[in-house]
Amino acid sequence: MARRETPEINAGSMADIAFLLLIFFLVTTTMNVDSGISRKLPEPPPADYKPPVIKQKNVFDIVVNRNNQLLIEGADFIKVKELKDLVVAFIDNGGGIGNPMDGEPAAECDWCNGEKDALSSDHPNKAIIQLQSDRGTSYGMYIAVQNEIEAAYIELRNKYALKKYRTSYTQLQKDMKDAQGSAAKEAIKVKIDDAKKHYPQIIAEPEPIK
Amino acid sequence: MSKFNKKKKGLPAISTASLPDIVFMLLFFFMVTTTMRETELKINTPVLPSATEVKKLEHKSLVSTIYIGSSKNKNITGDKIQVNDKIINYTEVQSFILAERAERKEDEVPFMTTSIKADKSANVGTILDIKEQLREIQALKISFSVTKGDVSKNF
Number of H helices, E strands in chain A: 5, 6
Of A138, A134, A136, A123, give the one whose Cα is nearest residue A202: A123
Q: How many CA atoms lie within 13 A of B9 on its CB side?
A: 5
Q: CA angle at residue A129 from A126 to A133, to 5 degrees?
A: 155
Distances from the Cα of A30 to the Cαs of A26, A161, B31, B38, B96, in angstroms? 9, 37, 11, 12, 25
ipTM of the complex as predicted: 0.76
With beta carbons under 8 A apart, name residues in chain B contacting A176. none
CA A204 to CA A132: how far, in whole Å?
Answer: 8
Question: Tell me: the pLDDT tens digits for A4-52?
Answer: 788 877 777 877 888 888 888 888 776 666 788 888 888 888 888 888 8
Among the partner residues A11, A15, A36, nearest to B144 by beta-carbon distance: A36
CB A126, CB A99: distance < 8 Å: yes
Q: What is the band of B37 on the pLDDT scale with cuts at 50, 70, 90?
A: low
Residue B120 has pLDDT above 60, yes or no: yes
User: Is B35 within 8 Å of A29 when comparing Cβ atoms?
Assistant: yes
**CA-to-CA distance for A57 and A99, rounded, in angstroms?**
15
Q: Which helix (H) or strand (E) holds B94?
A: helix B93-103
Nearest CB among B54, B128, B146 relative to A208 is that of B128
Q: Per-residue pLDDT for B68 more than 70?
A: yes
Name chain B contacts of A144, Cβ cutoff 8 Å: 49, 51, 151-152, 154-155
Q: Is the pTM of this model over 0.90?
A: no
**A35:B56 CB<8 A:** yes
d(C-alpha A145, C-alpha A137), whole Å: 11
Any idea which of A57-61, A129-133, A186-190, B148-152 has the lowest mean pLDDT? B148-152
Asked if A136 lies within 8 A of B23 by C-beta distance, the reply is no
pLDDT of residue A31: 66
Mean pLDDT of B94-108: 89
